[in-house]
Amino acid sequence: MSDAEKKDEMIVGPSAAGGGASGPPQGQQITIEDAGVSTQYANFFAISASPEEVVLDFGNTRRTEAARARVEARVVVSPANAKRLAMALGQTIKAYEDKYGVIEVRRREPAGN
């Protein structure tokens, strides 16, 4: 898939410059400038929250180091933007499954079981 095709399928959330907490007005085109951005692969994530913010940690763990993960990126968002992100992820997963089939996910047992 080309970069142009990837961008055609992106769901874009609100931007601080485009309309504040309520996000950009409906139908507004947003140009994404991603030159110079590094890409990180993550096979691990952790989410924590306080009344003011939601913290998303992304990182990597190896099978030989199952009890340890290295956080490679941390994203901090408001609770409202975290909810918008959850909704956008849901839409993206639904579109993916409609196109490619259901994603099978194994439930992980809590540590110590």
How do the pLDDT tens digits run along the chain, 113 residues long? 455 555 555 666 664 444 444 555 566 788 889 999 999 999 999 999 999 999 999 999 877 755 788 899 999 999 999 999 999 999 999 999 999 999 999 887 665 55
- pTM for this structure? 0.68
Sequence length of the chain is 113
The answer to whether 77 and 53 have CB atoms below 8 angstroms apart is: yes
Q: Which amino acid is at 85?
A: L
The answer to whether 96 and 106 have CB atoms below 8 angstroms apart is: no
